[in-house]
Chains A and B, each alone.
Chain A
Amino acid sequence: MGDLSLAELQTLLRDGSFALQTGTLLSRISTQFADVARSLHVLYAHHPYQIAPDFADFHVEVRQPRNIRRWFRRQAEFLIDGDPPFEPLPRNQAPAFLEWGLNWSIAASCHQWFTIHAASLERNGFVVILPAPPGSGKSTLCTALALRGWRLLSDELTLINPQSMTASALARPINLKNASIDLIREFEPASVWGPETYDTAKGRVTHLRPPIDSVERMLETAQPRWIVFPRYSPGSDPLLTPRAKAQTFIHFAENAFNYSTLGETGFDVVGSLVDQCDCYDFTYSRLDDALEVFDWISSGAAP
């Protein structure tokens, strides 16, 4: 998208001909909102795009509701093929709404993958999966790793191909919240950010542009090798402890978006994942400590 000016992008988004490629998926996006265009222009600067392609996987739109909330206490709504799967959000959250909407589209309908709410990154051909409930510091840790030599596959959705048992990449922007935003700004002053939104259900949120290497290599799949459950605990020293495989199995079964939809395949995927990965709990408070521990983890698998 580097060759596209903001004004050009805006025109393409207005007439609905812009299509963005993230991983193997092509999403046709339509919007009249200038802030959504600005956000896409910054966050997806390295991504490939197409103009009015014959085929796209998703057709989405962010727009003003067709009612009084167009003018009064303004809102934005997200539509996929003309259908709004969510309630509208306040107008200022439109750029973040598009990101969440795209995540939902993948989680709700892409059953070619086993899909779980977790971050995934690759190094030396092997993938670490970071599952975690919100607030565990998963995105903060994922960002630090992505900025220091790990290739970002995905911050929100880990996609496992049931046939090859490899992880696919989306290389989408990373969603950061509240204090994490300042922490990462300090950690990497050269990082590039989308607009900040205040007063969302999650507090203050923004998105970080994924590193260029992650985007250029987004079609490369890789083998999951480690599953690490991070937990941010202020003031603590780094502590890496093995985690029971059975417990990891249950977490994956309960937190995947399509475990039951995939049926027996879902059971087999989780079983293989837990078999082929070392499973850990990891408590930390300082990002530099965490990077050192992850260096150590990945060196164990080096040839």
Chain B
Amino acid sequence: MMHLKCSTGYRVAQRPETMTRNTGTIAGQNLINAIKFPERLPGTSLRDWDSILRLAKRANLIGRLAEGAHYRGVMDELPTQVRTHLESARVLTSHQRQAIAWETRHIGQALKSIGAPLILLKGAAYAIADLAAAHGRLFGDVDLLVPRACLNQAEAALMMHGWASGHADPYDERYYRRWMHELPPMAHRKRGTVIDVHHNILPLTARTLPSADLLLNASVPVPGTDFRVLSPSDMVIHSATHLFHEGELQNGLRDLFDLDALLNEFSERESDFWHELTDRAHTLGLAWPLHLALRYSRAILGTEVPPHVSASVSKAATPGRVSQRLLDGMYLRGLQPDHPLCSNYSTDVARAALYLRGHYLRMPVGLLVIHLGRKSIMRLFKNTSRSV
């Protein structure tokens, strides 16, 4: 496969000064430009389209790409075979948008009786609040945050309405209940849809655990629904926290585009947004994931962040023992689409390192060793005994 190193891909002016190494690929940069600048799409060669569509599908960004081309009104100027894939993606994303609205209505009905605040997170929140981040997005599970005291009631109410936890393995069950910040995923018996019920945005074992009460108290109701969403600042901080605690970044670039869209929309809408964001990250003790989010969103997507904001967030985010250079090496590679066109030995190493880092941030080392050891043994066992 191709291992083309990019020499001019990043716009130098946007790149933080300390970031000197090139880790993107031409293919990856072509996808990013295609989403950021839909007006330039008509000039794209068929050969470039081939790799752009492949990466977009793999990175779960084809919906956003298609929506951009549609809104910009350039769809008719694109080659027929390309348009077919993009229109097909729009069919899928508009169906998913309807489906997630339908699903949240069912969840709202099921949980009405418990009388607790129901806070939608991530994709479902962007959709219900009708944010730009939801445009063309593909949705997975529904993520919901409820006060910890209401967790058992919420689980019971969902079970009454047809959701059930699918975990057959007692270890997984115990792992979730004891260490995690959520119930084991629950799937609806008939619709097959999955809901993750959280009581915090990070595992109980995480090195920097924010107060869930602060998030709940600042959340805002969504008019005409039974739901609430996090405040704009908290939504950004949660999205950043989630992405930079994640060990597996299959959706890393998609999540970075979410952050880009949230930052653009909120900073345009509210004049005091940047100030609030900085303060809030400090209060929640989550300045470092926000720092990484702003840093890589700027470096990779060219997101416009006022320099004084980057500076103050980066100052508050006391870098840990892992140096910034090392993190840059990992994330600038790891946030590329996980596709043979963008992969080489160094991205493989970066992904492995991020996997360990994700787990390290989520639990103490002793627990981590036991957990990962068990996982790898189970995987080995599964691989050799699997019958078809």
Contact = CB atoms under 8 A, between A and B. Distances in A.
B50 A81 contact: no
Nearest to B343: A82
B50 A83 contact: no
Contact of A109 (B47, B88, B339): B88
B217 interface: no
B92 interface: yes
Given A263-B95, A263-B98, A56 B383 contact: no
Interface string B84-105: 1101110110110011000000
Contact of A55 (B50, B95, B383, B388): B50
Nearest to B380: A68
Contact of A57 (B85, B92, B343): B85
Nearest to A57: B81
Interface string B2-28: 000000000000000000000000000
A111 B54 contact: no
Contact of A111 (B47, B91, B340, B384): B91
Contact of B388 (A59, A201, A261): A201
Contact of A54 (B50, B84, B87, B98): B50
A184 to B, nearest CB: 27
Contacts of B84: 112
Contact of B383 (A67, A109, A111, A201): A67
Nearest to A75: B388
B49 interface: yes
B49 A261 contact: no
A260 B95 contact: yes
Contact of A263 (B47, B94, B343): B94
What's the interface size class on A, roughly?
20 to 34
Nearest to B83: A112
Contacts of B318: none
A147 interface: no
Q: Identify whether the interface residues of B are mostly helix, strand, loop, or mixed.
A: helix
Contacts of B338: 82
Contacts of B79: 55
Given A81-B57, A111-B88, A111-B91, A87 B386 contact: yes
Given A55-B49, A57-B81, A111-B92, A81 B339 contact: yes
A170 to B, nearest CB: 15
Interface in B58-94: 58, 79, 81-82, 84-85, 87-89, 91-92, 94
Given A55-B81, A260-B95, A263-B98, A90 B388 contact: yes
B46 interface: yes
A261 B384 contact: no
Interface in A43-92: 54-57, 59, 67-69, 72, 81-83, 87-90
Main secondary structure of the interface of A (DSSP, over half): loop
Contacts of B45: 54
Contacts of B81: 26, 55, 57
Contacts of B384: 68-69, 72
Contact of A261 (B46, B85, B92, B383): B92
Contacts of A109: 57, 85, 88, 92
Contacts of A26: 81
A110 interface: yes
B340 A261 contact: no
Interface string A167-199: 000000000000000000000000000000000
Given A68-B384, A262-B95, A263-B98, A81 B58 contact: yes
A201 B47 CA distance: 39
A69 B383 contact: yes
Contacts of A55: 46-47, 49-50, 79, 81-82
Given A69-B383, A112-B84, A112-B91, 5 more contacts: A55-B46, A68-B383, A81-B340, A88-B388, A262-B91
21 contacts: A54-B45, A54-B46, A54-B47, A56-B50, A57-B85, A67-B383, A68-B383, A81-B58, A81-B340, A82-B58, A83-B58, A90-B388, A109-B57, A111-B87, A111-B92, A112-B91, A260-B95, A261-B95, A262-B95, A263-B94, A263-B95
Interface of A: 26, 54-57, 59, 67-69, 72, 81-83, 87-90, 109-112, 201, 260-263, 265
- The 7 tightest CB contacts between A and B, nearest first, are A111-B91, A54-B47, A111-B88, A54-B46, A82-B340, A55-B50, A55-B46
